[in-house]
Amino acid sequence: MFIEKAEVLISSPGRNFVTLRITTDDGVTGLGDATLNGRELAVAAYLREHVVPLLIGRDAHRIEDTWQYLYKGAYWRRGPVTMASIAAVDTALWDIKAKAAGLPLYQLLGGRSRDGLLVYGHASGAELPELFDSINEHLEEGYRAIRVQTGIPGLPSVYGVASSANARTGSDAGTDARYDYEPARRNAVPVEESWDTRAYLRHIPGVFEAVRNEFGPELPLLHDGHHRMTPMQAAKLGKSLEPYDLFWLEDVTPAENQEALRLVRQHTTTPLAIGEVFNTIWDYKTLIEEQLIDYVRSPVTHAGGITGLRRIFDYASIYQIKSGAHGPTDVSPVGLSAAIHLGLAIPNFGIQEYMRHAPATHEVFRTTFTFANGMLDAADAPGLGVEYDDEAAAAHPYEAAYLPVNRLLDGSMHDW
């Protein structure tokens, strides 16, 4: 079975997505997600100009060899653009292999290790009453684990909090009234937000106290620090949240410095998750070997596909570290489906983030996975179980969109 065609598909149903579709000489197609939020066209060009020409004529079954060929063969290794491109090829080839075998992909990865994937949803509110409404809505929809983000007094808009100001703009304005958080805005330049870590650290413990008082001790609660703290600030936050028994505290410090987590770890027993911006196993080396984290956050889409992420999860498993794959709306339904198949198969599954895509997204990406009782599950369709509707996609051309940038109150740039 040889690769005959590889198409880079760019569409914007609710938000921008880059998808790779590989077709074999006997007509089998496979999909891979290559979406890199705010830098989509760089990955599209990397694929179109430098990867697609190398794929034509290759044996579609040789997934590992193709992975190594693209990773070692570029000479310039790693990085989000390269690894998202490799991920898209890898995922599409797994989709093809599973379709050729007539099996859902998880069967090729070793078969089911569990009945479904426990997921967490995103609840948020500028103030507590809005946050409580959002948690209640999630519970009514079946969610059994909740990420909690709130506004910070004195800051007009902060990461993770849905509000009317975050409503989608551009061609989809007003078409998706759902109360969701989508950080990328359709703008020619990034929106600027402001940040004050001390105000944040003063506010958050009280929020978790209020949520525990309202919803009781059992509900798994998560929180995302979005890489904004120094190690000592992170240690302080982890310690102050211990009474509220978090499932995890995510991305406390800028992720480039793995050693920073040593200091955080010495001071708190709050479980730590990191890795959504990582793209290879090397980014985790110190964190995993020294057991500085509890959950690995990379998605299939940004960490070299099923092949790359499986290797990271296996490495983590020998240190009792579990998976917690990134699943925001900027991971497409193809990337999410890949995570579902992988999560069903691995021994050390922890939890899956599930933010839900907009209805327009599902018109382009026809999915078969199910969500019930707080769990995601793959259907028995062969492959990944996703098809791409070209006609629906044509109605949603690419529109530039950027993630916000962040400034401290004195105007200095800070991690967003």
* C-beta closer to ligand GCO: residue 10 or 105: 10
> Is 226 considered catalytic here?
yes
Q: Is 323 in the site for ligand GCO (CB under 6 A)?
A: no
- CB environment 32-45: b (16+ within 10 A), e (fewer): bbbbbbbebeebbe
Length of the chain: 416
State the nearest-atom distance from the C-beta of 161 to ligand GCO, in Å.
11
**Which of 382, 403, 414, 415 contacts ligand GCO by CB under 6 A?**
403
* DSSP-derived pairing of the beta strands 248-250 and 295-296: unpaired
The C-alpha angle 372, 377, 381, rounded to 5 degrees, equals 125
> Maximum distance among all alpha carbons in the chain?
61
Q: Is 33 in the site for ligand GCO (CB under 6 A)?
A: no
Distance CA 346, CA 109 (A): 8
Q: Which of residues 58-87 bind Mg ion (CB under 5 A)?
A: none
Q: Find the catalytic residue in 46, 106, 143, 159.
A: 159
The site map against Mg ion for 251-280 (x = CB under 5 A) is -------------------------x----
Nearest to 31 by CA among 7, 65, 62: 7
CA distances from 290 to 8, 224, 348, 349 (A): 40, 22, 18, 20
Q: Is 330 in the site for Mg ion (CB under 5 A)?
A: no
Q: With residue 55 as reference, give the H or E element that holds it.
A: helix 52-55
State the nearest-atom distance from the C-beta of 276 to ligand GCO, in Å.
5
> Is 179 considered catalytic here?
no
DSSP type of residue 127? S
Q: Is 180 in the site for ligand GCO (CB under 6 A)?
A: no
Written as six digits, the tokens of 104 are 């859902």
* C-beta closer to ligand GCO: residue 374 or 383: 374
Q: Is 224 in the site for Mg ion (CB under 5 A)?
A: yes
Written as six digits, the tokens of 198 are 């001390």
Stretch that binds ligand GCO, among 85-93, 313-321, 325-333, 335-343 (CB under 6 A): 325-333
Q: Look at residue 183 and give the partner it binds from Mg ion, ligand GCO, none, a contact being a CB closer than 5 to 8 Å depending on partner kind.
A: ligand GCO
Written as six digits, the tokens of 119 are 């997921």
3-state helix, strand, coil in the chain (%, to 5): 40, 20, 45
Q: Is 224 in the site for ligand GCO (CB under 6 A)?
A: yes
Q: Which of residues 345-374 bind ligand GCO (CB under 6 A)?
A: 353
**Which of 151, 308, 324, 328 contacts ligand GCO by CB under 6 A?**
328
Q: Is 353 in the site for Mg ion (CB under 5 A)?
A: no
**Which of 40, 90, 180, 276 contacts ligand GCO by CB under 6 A?**
276
The C-alpha angle 231, 135, 157, rounded to 5 degrees, equals 55
Q: Residue numbers of the site for ligand GCO (CB under 6 A)?
A: 37, 183, 224, 226, 276, 326, 328, 330, 353, 403
Could you list the active site residues?
159, 226
Provide the binding-site residues for Mg ion, judged by CB under 5 A. 224, 276
